[in-house]
Amino acid sequence: MVYESKNIRNVVLLGHPGSGKTTLAEDMLFEAKGISKRGRVEDGNTVSDYTSIEQTKGNSIFSTLMHAGWKDSKINIIDTPGYDDFIGEVLSSLKVADTAVMVLNAKSGVEVGTEIIWEYIEKFKTPAMLVINQLDHEKADYDNCVQQAIDRFGSHLLPVQYPLNQGTGFNSIVDALRMVMYVFPTGGGKPEKKPIPESEMPRALEMHNKLVEAAAENEDGLMDKFFEQGTLDEADLTKGLTIAMANQQIFPIFCASGAGNMGTGRIMGFINDICPSPIDRPDAILEDGNTLKCDSNDDTTIFIYKTLTEPNVGMVSYFKVYSGTLKTGDELTNHNNRTVERFNQIFVSNGKIREAVPELKAGDLGVTVKLKNSHSNNTLTAKNSDKGIEPIHFPEPRIRAGVKPPSKQDMEKLVKALHQIQEEDPTLILEQNSQLKQTIMHGQGQLHMDIIKYRIEKVNGISMEFEKPKIPYRETITREANETYRHKKQSGGAGQFAEVHIRIEPYHEGMPDPAGLTVKKTEVDELPWGGKLVFVWCIVGGSIDAKFSNAIKKGVMQKMENGPLTGSACTDIRVSVYDGKMHPVDSNDMAFQIAGAQAFKNAFKNSHPQILEPIQNLEILCPDEVMGDIMGDLQTRRAMIVGMDSDGHYQKILAKVPLAELYQYNSTLRSVSQGRAKFKMSFAEFQSVPTDIQQKLAAEHTDHDHDEDI
């Protein structure tokens, strides 16, 4: 069946690990008769979490697309992982969803993972509703959950329901929107509608009136009607609440037990009746700042939000139709690389079960297979169009590790396999660092890295180990030094001769010309690793031909790529060549290259060299009770605390920490905080290392060079 845009609902299930998203999704499909029997996460037979790795690990690792019919609508449901190690799956799903369903554990309330995800909901400006799940748990506390959520996310959170008897005997929900009580049979299922008890009417009426007021605020006609009648009928309520939700003016709160099959049908009905369709949402933002309307009669534009390689299938691409109607056999042009892709098959998905459909209209989510040159974050458009959907911007990596294959022969296979995963997972960054002579993997956390390792070994059959990543230090100088070097070699036949006189100085923007020298030519090179080399030619009177300038500069650059102290790249240095000698026969480019390199090396050691280390901005979100332990750990890492603040009922710590001190920090923080703290980091700057560390690093490099010589 092909659904019109107005009858499509795209929802994404979000929440901290353990909130019960996958179980709730299973119950939603069951209530919609999309499945005949509910699976269990423990049994590995749910529609979501269908991959072998998810069933083995017992956690959601990938987002899963599902759908169900409800009345005249199609509700697309995306289940997402709870661990923020897999934040890429969450962000790609939020990108294409029109409603976020935030699932809270009734026992635990608002957790750190909830806080982080809510920030992204606000960033994407996605309409949202909350579901307080697991109300049949013996320690369920609905009121505490609601209060925590309102304290953290604001007064626009409005309860629609509350449980009459939470805990192990939970079976009744008071619905203040419809002013009815749902009583569920043993084992859950279809509830019986009953009048709200008199004792509960004051609370229910107060909640109802707040919902009516929120609905009336969005249209003058409804507000007038509300003042005249003191209430609104169901049709007016639906209209007003739809507008309010679409504009993120209200965030309704519902009750459920996904495992107990209670409350989910009402949630599906609300999604169908109130939650916005794709055409109710603002036009999509394009790369150039323009917008694209959700119109099934316009040119076809789709956006690939996720890709996954499956055994015996190949590349599977998940997409949203942003405009137009995608039909089987259509050819679209990839906006990002200008290749043409043919859609031989289009599917709708329920986990691993896919059903072919002839077409999908604007706003719908679908799946295709075996696209040749299109990956996550790519836009594909009709041939006469060139519109690029604003891509998903993923967070900076928070963890890095060296990659070590069992043998050099396996490295090529390993890197190829990692690149394939990188095409599916944009939060994985693979760096083959020639300066460090190490392949480094950057990811979102230790679990993220471990899952990639597991996939490489199980799917590709390649053994892989992690090793401590090397630190990309930099070397520079702190004062001026002059040096003369003569290179002379005679071994039969033509010899080699070159003599250069150079001055090296620390470089900074706006510095005057070299004192006492006559500048003939200045070259400023932006170095690939950052910073600058300023090369100044000051030869007067032809003591060295200008044709040897490039050879001297090449020799200097060779030494700058592998600095004299630790072999790290040198940065921000001015080199002035002011004198020298040459031989009419024995001088050549190679001789001057060697002389330039050695002169630079010797001068560098006499100019108070300084090793610089990368410093990271670190932001930690944690509960107040573990803050002391986290601060104590940071003190052992040479951290500089730059700020502390409260963020809702969490504490935020801002610090600058050397990258060298952050190895395996993700695991340490999880241990110190019992998994209740989260962090993110980004590069800040390079700073001088302390004297004792510089001496240690220089000594280690000397020992390493000695070992290689032996």
User: CA-to-CA distance for 303 and 282, rounded, in angstroms?
Assistant: 16
Spell out the domain ranges in the chain: 5-280, 294-381, 399-470, 475-607, 611-692
* SS3 (DSSP) at 135: coil
- 521 band by pLDDT with thresholds 50, 70 and 90: very high
Q: Count each helix (H run) and each strand (E run) in the chain, helices first.
A: 16, 38
What CATH code is assigned to 611-692? 3.30.70.240
Average pLDDT value for residue range 347-361: 96
From 3.40.1080.20, 3.40.640.10, 3.30.365.10, 3.40.50.300, which CATH number describes the 5-280 domain?
3.40.50.300
pLDDT of amino acid 492 = 65
Q: How many CB atoms lie within 10 A of CB 542?
A: 8
Q: Is the confidence at residue 69, as pLDDT, over 80?
A: yes
CA dihedral angle for residue 364, residue 370, residue 376, residue 379, rounded to 10 degrees: -60
pLDDT of amino acid 169 = 93
- CATH architecture assignment, domain 294-381: Beta Barrel (2.40)
User: CA-to-CA distance for 130 and 158, rounded, in angstroms?
Assistant: 9
Domain 399-470 matches domain 475-607 at the CATH topology level = no
Name which of 500-504, 581-585, 656-660 the model is least confident about. Answer: 581-585
Instruction: Find the helix or strand (DSSP H, E) in which 620 lies.
Output: strand 609-622
Instruction: Kindly calculate the radius of gyration of the chain based on its CA atoms and give it in whole angstroms.
Output: 32
Average pLDDT value for residue range 149-167: 94
Q: Is the confidence at residue 214, as pLDDT, over 70?
A: yes
Average pLDDT value for residue range 447-451: 92
Report yes or no: 592 and 551 within 8 Å, Cβ to Cβ: yes
Closest CA to 99 of 205, 173, 188, 28: 28
- CATH architecture assignment, domain 399-470: 2-Layer Sandwich (3.30)
- 705 band by pLDDT with thresholds 50, 70 and 90: low
User: CA-to-CA distance for 212 and 240, rounded, in angstroms?
Assistant: 8
Question: Between helices 234-246 and 201-216, what is the axis angle to 10°?
Answer: 60
Average pLDDT for the chain:
92
Name which of 103-117, 371-385, 406-420 the model is least confident about. Answer: 406-420
For the stretch 381-438, pLDDT in tens is: 998 888 999 999 999 899 999 998 878 788 888 988 898 899 889 999 999 888 888 9
Q: Is the confidence at residue 710, as pLDDT, over 80?
A: no
pLDDT of amino acid 709 = 37
User: CA-to-CA distance for 157 and 150, rounded, in angstroms?
Assistant: 6
Cβ contacts of 221 within 8 Å, gap of 6 or more: none
Length of the chain: 710
Report yes or no: 445 and 666 within 8 Å, Cβ to Cβ: yes
Reading the block at residue 311, the tokens are: 């055994």
pLDDT of amino acid 707 = 41
Average pLDDT value for residue range 500-514: 96
- 113 band by pLDDT with thresholds 50, 70 and 90: confident
- Percent share of the chain, pLDDT over 90: 77
pLDDT of amino acid 494 = 73
User: CA-to-CA distance for 477 and 687, rounded, in angstroms?
Assistant: 13
- Which is more confidently placed, 263 or 705? 263
Report yes or no: 521 and 536 within 8 Å, Cβ to Cβ: yes
Report yes or no: 62 and 349 within 8 Å, Cβ to Cβ: no
pLDDT of amino acid 678 = 86
For residue 209, how many C-alpha atoms fall within 13 Å in the half-sphere facing its CB?
Answer: 9
Name which of 51-60, 281-290, 338-347 the model is least confident about. Answer: 51-60
From 3.30.230.10, 3.30.1360.20, 3.90.190.20, 3.30.2130.30, which CATH number describes the 475-607 domain?
3.30.230.10
Closest CA to 401 of 368, 455, 450: 450
- 224 band by pLDDT with thresholds 50, 70 and 90: low
Report yes or no: 500 and 599 within 8 Å, Cβ to Cβ: yes
* SS3 (DSSP) at 108: coil
Q: How many CB atoms lie within 10 A of CB 332?
A: 24
Average pLDDT value for residue range 136-157: 94
pLDDT of amino acid 230 = 65
Closest CA to 397 of 625, 635, 662: 662
pLDDT of amino acid 490 = 77
pLDDT of amino acid 410 = 84
Instruction: Find the helix or strand (DSSP H, E) in which 242 lies.
Output: helix 234-246
Reading the block at residue 117, the tokens are: 């995800």
**How far apart, in Å, are the Cα atoms of 368 and each of 64, 144, 314?**
14, 44, 11
Average pLDDT value for residue range 275-296: 95
Q: Is the confidence at residue 239, as pLDDT, over 90?
A: no
Vertex 290 angle, CA 287 and 296, to 5°? 100
